[in-house]
């Protein structure tokens, strides 16, 4: 078998102008999804050149499920002091929870600065420093490649908030549960792509569209886990599914919770698993098996009504 050689492509050969070319490219949901996968965040509702005083942030978006604000500052050149200052100004101007600074090359002093910011801010704020590269093999089209250089250390932040024991307990419990879920996915051989474990209460699986995905939510206060189809901002999709409610529930095998959420953008179709607690891990493996079964059953039942949805994160479903 003949193997190709990976070659770097000059960023300016792809995006000539940062504002006119790179930022509009990144704001496309498909590309924002790719960045989000690298960061472990579901980024939605991108807006470009959002005014912050006399300046404008490159991209303003949100984290799906909890509506936290994200600021993305783009710089397809080496990092500099000017852009570092701008990211902080933009973040304060819109009360951002996550700041993503994308550069061609991260200089050591700016890596240290971002690490310092993460070490000295509370658990509600996170700074990412990300390099953007472009590569190709032979005569292939160039492909973007994001590389995280510095990111929030959530564990250390949770320790800093030790006065809030519930927060620390929740963060550490979530990370452990998602880590174990990843292990189960890998060892069981199910055709699902594991995502990076995090400290949030949700874990998502892509369904081939930016308009909807499967989400798993840990509801410790109710001792339950929610497995749901999350529809980001399209009531017509929800209504189309609801019109086939009986057929979908028959294929799935039980009644489901249908919540159109008329006063919100998102809506969902959900099922629940009982018996979850951060304090008792003895049944976690059974809960994780049940989660994966429900995710696959959901996809199988919804597949005829969601059009040509064939994959979860690019992996074929095997029924």
Residues 6+ apart with CB under 8 A from 144: 31, 34, 132, 133, 134
pTM comes to: 0.60
Beta strands 98-105 and 69-78, pairing class? parallel
What is the average pLDDT across 253-275? 90
pLDDT higher than threshold 70 for residue 269? yes
Token pair recorded at residue 5: 């050689």
Token pair recorded at residue 51: 């005014």
What is the average pLDDT across 258-282? 89
Q: How far is CA 105 from CA 13, 15, 80, in A?
A: 16, 16, 10
Token pair recorded at residue 209: 């569209």
pLDDT higher than threshold 50 for residue 116? yes
Instruction: Say which residue, 206 or 241, is predicted with more confidence.
Output: 241
Ordered DSSP codes for 232-258:
-S-HHHHHHHHTTHHHHHHHHTS--EE
pLDDT higher than threshold 90 for residue 24? yes
CA dist., res. 52 & res. 62, Å (int): 16
pLDDT higher than threshold 80 for residue 312? no
Q: Which residue has the tokens 């604000």?
A: 69
Structural contact between residues 130 and 149, judged by C-beta atoms closer than 8 angstroms: yes
Q: How many CA atoms lie within 13 A of 73 on its CB side?
A: 27
Q: Tell me, what's the pLDDT at 57?
A: 84
Worst-scoring range by mean pLDDT, 95-104, 197-206, 250-259? Answer: 197-206
Q: Tell me, what's the pLDDT at 288?
A: 95
Tens of pLDDT, residue by residue over 131-184, are 999 999 888 889 999 999 988 876 445 445 444 444 567 778 888 999 999 999
Q: What are the extents of the domains in the chain?
A: 6-152, 159-316
- Name the band, by pLDDT with cuts 50, 70 and 90, for residue 193: confident
Q: Tell me, what's the pLDDT at 308?
A: 40
Instruction: Please state, rounded to an integer, the average pLDDT across all residues of the chain.
Output: 84
Residues 6+ apart with CB under 8 A from 47: 27, 59, 60, 61
pLDDT higher than threshold 80 for residue 293? yes
pLDDT higher than threshold 60 for residue 82? yes
Q: Tell me, what's the pLDDT at 154?
A: 61
Q: If we measure between CA atoms, which residue out of 85, 150, 84, 153 comes closest to residue 112?
A: 150
Instruction: List the helix and strand counts (H, then E) for the chain.
Output: 10, 14
User: Which CATH number describes the domain made up of 159-316?
Assistant: 3.30.1460
Asked, colleague to colleague, whether 6-152 and 159-316 share their fold, the answer is no
Tens of pLDDT, residue by residue over 62-71, are 887 667 889 9
Q: Tell me, what's the pLDDT at 62?
A: 87
- pLDDT over 70, % of the chain: 90
What is the average pLDDT across 74-97? 88
Helix intervals (H) in 22-80: 23-27, 29-39
pLDDT higher than threshold 90 for residue 227? yes
- When the candidates are 3.40.1350.10, 3.20.20.140, 3.40.605.10, 3.50.50.60, the CATH number that belongs to 6-152 is 3.40.1350.10
Q: If we measure between CA atoms, which residue out of 136, 117, 137 comes closest to residue 128?
A: 117
Q: Tell me, what's the pLDDT at 168?
A: 62
CA dist., res. 316 & res. 93, Å (int): 43
């Amino acid at each position: 078998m003949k193997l190709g050689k990976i070659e770097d492509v000059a960023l300016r050969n792809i995006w000539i102008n940062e504002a006119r070319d790179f930022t509009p490219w990144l704001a496309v949901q498909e590309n924002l999804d790719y960045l989000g996968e690298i960061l472990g965040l579901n980024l939605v509702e991108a807006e470009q050149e959002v005014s912050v005083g006399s300046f404008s942030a490159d991209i303003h978006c949100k984290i799906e499920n909890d509506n936290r604000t994200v600021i993305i500052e783009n710089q397809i050149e080496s990092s500099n002091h000017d852009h570092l200052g701008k990211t902080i100004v933009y973040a304060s101007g819109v009360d951002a929870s996550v700041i993503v600074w994308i550069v061609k090359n991260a200089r050591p002093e700016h890596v240290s600065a971002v690490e310092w910011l993460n070490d000295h801010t509370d658990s509600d704020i996170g700074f990412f420093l990300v390099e953007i590269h472009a590569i190709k093999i032979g005569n292939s089209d160039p492909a973007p490649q994001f590389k995280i250089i510095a990111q929030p250390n959530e564990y250390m932040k949770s320790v800093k908030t030790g006065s809030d024991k519930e927060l620390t307990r929740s963060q550490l419990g979530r990370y452990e549960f998602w880590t174990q879920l990843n292990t189960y996915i890998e060892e069981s051989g199910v055709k699902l792509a594991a995502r990076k474990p995090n400290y949030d209460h949700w874990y998502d699986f892509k369904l081939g569209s930016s308009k909807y995905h499967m989400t798993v939510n840990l509801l410790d206060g109710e001792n339950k886990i929610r497995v749901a189809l999350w529809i980001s901002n399209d009531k017509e999709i929800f209504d189309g599914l609801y019109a086939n409610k009986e057929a979908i529930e028959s294929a799935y095998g039980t009644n489901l919770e249908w919540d159109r959420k008329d006063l919100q953008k998102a809506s969902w179709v959900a099922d629940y698993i009982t018996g979850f607690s951060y304090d008792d891990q003895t049944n976690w493996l059974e809960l994780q098996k049940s989660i994966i079964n429900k995710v696959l059953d959901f996809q199988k039942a919804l597949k005829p009504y969601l059009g040509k949805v064939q994959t979860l994160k690019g992996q074929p479903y095997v029924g």
